[in-house]
Chain A
Amino acid sequence: MNIIDMTATELSAAIRAGQTTAVEATEAMLARIEEQDKIYNCYVTVDKEGALVQAKEVQVKIEAGELTGPLAGVPVAIKDNMCTEGMLTTCSSKILGNFVPTYTAEAVLNLKKAGAVILGKTNMDEFAMGSTTETSAYGVTRNPWNTEHVPGGSSGGSAAAVAAEECYYALGSDTGGSIRQPASYCGMVGMKPTYGTVSRYGLIAYGSSLDQIGPLTKDVTDCAAVLEAIASHDEKDSTSVERQDTDFTSALVDDVKGMRIGIPNDYFGDGLDEEVRAAVLKAAEELERKGAVVERFDLSLVEYAIPTYYTIAAAEASSNLERFDGIKYGYRTKDYNGLHNMYKKSRSEGFGEEVKRRIMLGSFVLSSGYYDAYYLKALRVKALIKKAFDEAFAKYDVILGPVAPTTAPKLGSSLSDPIKMYLGDIYTIAVNLAGLPGISLPCGIDKNGLPIGLQLIGDCFQEKKLIQTAYAYEQVRGKFGLAAHGAEREQRGQNTAEQEGQCNE
């Protein structure tokens, strides 16, 4: 029995059935990390000893019948912007290079309660600011489908770790697409839940009004199971929403009859790669064939989402990142002259280029004299964008489109032109502004052997419609191969990911 290929829920079933153990699965993942992570660099920190201790404890509880859930005993990787008690948490920044939290993020605690085994912390763009995982202070992460390409970002380490089978699933965070886009680039399922569904307690803040934690998994079933485990009302997060409908696995139903699906014309304009367009529209056809009612419509305001987002996110970032001052934790400069000079030098030496760029922009748009013209203006446009979605969801259950305009770009090709890089977020960003749930799942492979992602967007609190639609599509698409298999075949001198990854027709 090959336990490495299993999904998270398959593995936990096998553990419960006594066919394997949490310890075996953890050892298998640690061995893979040892073997391949020097190439991919998915992890910033691997907690080998801690993971084995957890695995043994969890195994005892499973055998005693105390842990019976669908994630019990399954090894997971956590994005390095979620606090983990006693385990280094860097946000992939030099400024937090030695930060060991004294508490654990609520979402991670929820996983631990479900019997998860935490393997370590995954690489990301510094403070989640980026779309490629190239702004990390701890080196770039490589896409396991093709190591010349980026894994996407900012949760690139999480997506790549699942794709390379260096964990069974991972947590990421999504402020403007940071779960969905790397999931798309790495051929994984990624979901950004409705704002307020998963507690942000212990998530190191970037854009607080936009940030949400969510799952990166091998399939939709795992995605629903993980979301069900991490969703909770938490008094420690004042924006946490009390929901009764978090039994997301109940939506794993292969039926889209009558599901109203809207395809925004605005998501298929200039800049969209032809192969991505074709694969996404083919997925829509499959759903239509299964009984969904598919229509084209004009969403409007799409081109205003990115400038709105960068104004709001930079403003919030400049405020949130004030806490890094070289006093309470993290990096402090060696030479300084007085308190203010120490602040400035610690921050200037500790933060990377993209982070400083956004802090500067955010400080500017919040400054007296510009606040109304930039920051308040962006909040007004955000209201218009939300209204456009409200109107769309009066007609449709689900909005369907691409995740990103292209498949994963080559390493080193994105950072030189920030605005061009920001444009890559055009289909994901409005979802965060409007607080909506969105899911990304693979729907094809391009001519370079790289995965193409399909995005489904739902109205607030309608994750179940997304899960149901995604699950139904997954049934007709068939199993999507993992990067690991493509790469291994390549090593044997055969064709790359193509055959494995191709959708069944």
Chain B
Amino acid sequence: MANIISDETIEYVGILAKLELSDVEKEQAKSDMGRMLDYIDKLGELDTTSVEPMSHVFPVQNVFREDIVTNSNTREELLTNAPEQKDGMFMVPKTV
């Protein structure tokens, strides 16, 4: 495997991804990611120096509209999906 993923990298990616992996999962993730990157490295065979990155297939611009509220207030309904709620708000664990 050409790409060796270090413990530090997996740790760092875990922080970015907001995932907590067990030791077994970390080892698996190191091997999976290394293999995937080896595979993705195939793209290095292509010379793309003069090619613009294409994020969208059509030449679209930002889509603007007037800032007018068209949807109704569904706070109560939306909150019914929250794991915890209080006084019309989402409840989160104590942060300070």
- Which A residues have a C-beta under 8 Å from some C-beta of B? 98-100, 102-103, 195-196, 209, 235, 238-239, 241, 301, 303-304, 306-308, 310-311, 318, 322, 325-332, 336, 338-345, 347-348, 351, 356-357, 359-367, 374, 376-384, 386, 418-419, 434-435, 460
B4 on the A face (CB < 8 A)? no
A437: min CB distance to chain B, Å: 12
- Taken together as a complex, chains A and B put the C-alpha atoms of A301 and B41 apart, in Å, by 15
Query: Which residues on A sit within 8 Å (CB–CB) of B82?
Result: 327-329
The answer to whether A383 touches B81, judged by C-beta atoms less than 8 angstroms apart, is no
Query: Which residues on B sit within 8 Å (CB–CB) of A196?
Result: 58
B69 on the A face (CB < 8 A)? no
B1 on the A face (CB < 8 A)? no
From B21, B33, B81, contact of A364 by CB (8 A): B33
What total of A-B pairs shows CB separation below 8 Å?
Answer: 163
A102: min CB distance to chain B, Å: 4
The answer to whether B42 touches A345, judged by C-beta atoms less than 8 angstroms apart, is no
From A99, A238, A360, A374, contact of B19 by CB (8 A): A360
Docked complex: B53-70 residues within 8 A CB-CB of A: 53-58, 60, 62-63, 65
- Taken together as a complex, chains A and B put the C-alpha atoms of A25 and B46 apart, in Å, by 55
From A303, A328, A435, contact of B57 by CB (8 A): A435
Known: A338-B94, A339-B95. A209 touches B56 (CB 8 A): yes
B7: min CB distance to chain A, Å: 14
The answer to whether A343 touches B18, judged by C-beta atoms less than 8 angstroms apart, is yes
Known: A332-B84, A363-B16, A419-B35. A377 touches B43 (CB 8 A): yes
Identify which of B40, B44, B58 gathers the most chain A CB atoms within 10 Å of its CB: B40
The answer to whether B17 touches A359, judged by C-beta atoms less than 8 angstroms apart, is yes
Docked complex: B16-57 residues within 8 A CB-CB of A: 16-21, 25, 29, 32-33, 35-37, 39-46, 48, 51-57
B8 on the A face (CB < 8 A)? no
Known: A374-B40, A383-B51. A239 touches B60 (CB 8 A): yes
B49: min CB distance to chain A, Å: 9
